[in-house]
Chains A and B, each alone.
Chain A
Amino acid sequence: MTIQFNKESFRGDYTFHNSDWAIQRFPFPFHEDSYMYSVNMEQHRGGPEGSVYEKRFDVDEHYVSEMHDRALVLAEDPLRCQSLPHMTLAGWDLLELIMVAKSEDYPELFELHRNGDTWRWVNKPMEIDDTFTFLDETTLPYGPMEYITRQAQGDWCVLDQRDDMLWMDAGMVTTQADWSLDFDIGMNFFEWHAPVPLAHEMGIFKRALKFLLNIQQGAPARRLNWTMTVNPLLDTSPENYHKWGVQKTTLTPENIGAKQYLRVELQTFFRLPRSNALVFPIRCYLIAFQDLVTIPKWGRRLHRVIRDLPDELATYKGFIANRPMMLDYLSRYDDGLATSPGVWPDLEKEPELKK
């Protein structure tokens, strides 16, 4: 299908919106009526047609506007994109991976023409047509990682692998769930996850690290993570928390359906061939509560998950104060009927709301 790119904003007047297509393919993260941490990794080798899992790097109706928002963030704060000196080769690896994947998966939108080291890259939605020399930074307007991730949705963490450990040594991070690349760059896997409650004690990170260290070339993996955001704000950075934190207090019972968003991260993991680094794209999908509850199964289930979530997690995810109001709203969409297993909307199978 041809994607119609939305003209929308992720700040100020917040004109972000999901089409029916985007709502139905939303990566709902709860496969059952409760949630607890788990390593929940699986191979990333496609998925059902039209789903966000189908392509290596999903492109959707928000692409052009998200890239515009990223440019605004970087203009304000260039520290959101950084690469330690030894990570340049990994940046080229990433550029190659994204260009090859996008041009193969979306040939109507992207083209890559390679003639030895001379590469021509065409990005039609962003009206880019550049010719450069592979592995020669002087032929690109930015470093290789910055160049390509200004054209690819989601945040990008590029992890060096040394001494049986992963190190956050480069990244493009402008759509993050409240963590700072500038602060965390150079940290190891356990250190950058240090602020996460409970999961360390559960051994989650040890198991996840073991899995990630063994991800091999040609065999990428994926998992989902989630949090909550008031307003469709991509840039929920600690850097700007003193500006957006207060928006959490603007929720009312009248506006919560429109202003409260479930924020889901599709995290994927690819081994980079030349550098042996690992790239960890974190793609953010936003959906307003009022859109989410149009899928009866998701409305029922979200209410139960939020209601039963341990306080530590609600605090860490930053919505403990608003949880009662969220539950008031969501309970209107939970009639107590059973839900089918799995994440899919199951629109044909699930009964209409009986309320």
Chain B
Amino acid sequence: MSAAPQKVRAGAEKIDVTISAVTPLNELVTRFEFVRSDGEPFPPFSPGAHTIVELNDGGRTRLNPYSLMSDPSDLSTYAISVRRDDQGRGGSLFLHRNVSVGDELTITYPVNLFPLDLRGKKHLFLAGGIGITPFMAMIAHLERMGGAWELHYSCRSRALGSYADELKKRYPSKVQVYFDDQAQSIALENLLDGQPLGTHVYVCGPKGMIDWVHSTTASLGWPEENVHSEEFLAPQPGKPFEVRLCTSDMLIQVGENESLLEAMERSGVDAPFLCRGGACGQCETNVIESEGEFLHRDHWLDDDEHANGKKIMPCVSRFVGKSLILDR
């Protein structure tokens, strides 16, 4: 067929928004609330979804993914909570320093790579630090729909425990908070032991925590389908490198503080993407030739693919070496 063929555009559909509130929660984390600039309600979203916020940082476009943490039943507002990353490439710093109420931004439609399994007879949430954000939306959703849940939330200290007091106060019997500086930690094996059949566990936090939950559940005989995780990878800065894009027939430079994907976009190459965090697989790119070492940081390619150097995920992965030629 083709009725009227249309080229598929990279990324999800976009929405113009205006910042309606900026609320610092503690030393590191600030909540940003958006309303639609056209005054319409937002599209509904499923808990666990993220949006990509487009930031114009001194002429450079930054596209950063953040979990939607507002109540999915409230379509007047979307909210994200952003942890300041002083070592990162500047997206979170830019939001913290340069964005205030009334500013206009563009965000994408929600995309969900961390959905609830709606068959779950019980949902067990494990959050580490800023990993609390998707659970805020999940909890609101399950409270509304009458689902069984339990949250175990580990943070550095009481002062840095974003939303910890609020959650504990609202759901005293369902929320347990652990503070690192008080030497408290989740007794995972104990917690997993005795969960009813049909329980699903969800973990969002640092990589070490995610790996720990996957290996512990596996050793206790939990099916992998019942264990869900999301780790947002921010692209890390690295040494500049050069790439030849053979379909586009151009040679581009990837700077220290930009990702390969961003460098392609800056050069006018329309490269596909969705999550920009190494998880969705959309930006997978074939390597035609390479001499050097890949710095793979994604969750999409498997170990073999990481080893054989035939593919790269340009949203988070980098390259060090003499030459790299990509099919893009």
Contacts and interface: CB of A to CB of B under 8 A. Distances in A.
A199 B302 CA distance: 26
B44 A273 contact: yes
B15 to A, nearest CB: 9
B43 interface: yes
Main SS class of interface, B: loop
Interface in A169-192: none
Given A43-B8, A160-B118, A276-B49, A217 B43 contact: yes
B145 interface: yes
Interface stretch (B29-37, B106-114, B122-130, B245-253): B106-114
Interface in B269-297: 274, 280-282
B225 A217 contact: no
B2 A276 contact: no
Interface in B70-116: 72, 109-112, 115
Contacts of B221: none
Given A219-B13, A273-B43, A343 B112 contact: no
Interface in A221-279: 223-224, 273-276
Nearest to B112: A276
Contacts of B4: 46-48, 53
Contact of A274 (B12, B13, B46, B117): B46
A322 interface: no
B268 to A, nearest CB: 22
Nearest to B4: A47
B12 A218 contact: yes
Contact of A218 (B3, B109, B119, B225): B109
Contacts of A343: 1-3
A162 B1 CA distance: 30
Given A53-B3, A214-B274, A218-B13, A274 B45 contact: yes
A53 B13 CA distance: 20
A197 interface: no
Nearest to A210: B281
A217 B52 CA distance: 14
Contacts of A207: none
Interface in A62-90: 85-87, 89
Nearest to B115: A276
Contacts of B72: 274
A27 B225 CA distance: 41
Interface residues of B, number: 30
A42 interface: yes
Given A273-B45, A276-B112, A31 B2 contact: yes
A40 B280 CA distance: 22
B259 to A, nearest CB: 20
A273 B1 contact: no
A40 B2 CA distance: 8
B196 interface: no
Contacts of B45: 217, 273-274
B5 A42 contact: yes
A3 to B, nearest CB: 20
Contacts of B281: 214
A216 B12 contact: yes
Interface string B1-19: 1111110100011000000
Contacts of B115: 161-162, 276
A216 B5 contact: no
Contact of B13 (A42, A93, A96, A216): A216
B280 A214 contact: yes
17 contacts: A42-B1, A43-B6, A45-B6, A46-B4, A48-B3, A51-B3, A89-B145, A160-B118, A162-B225, A217-B12, A219-B12, A219-B109, A223-B1, A274-B44, A274-B46, A275-B46, A275-B118
A-B complex: 10 closest residue pairs judged by Cβ atoms: A218-B13, A47-B3, A53-B3, A86-B118, A276-B46, A273-B44, A86-B119, A276-B115, A224-B1, A218-B109
Given A51-B3, A217-B109, A218-B13, 6 more contacts: A42-B2, A47-B3, A53-B4, A217-B13, A218-B12, A219-B109
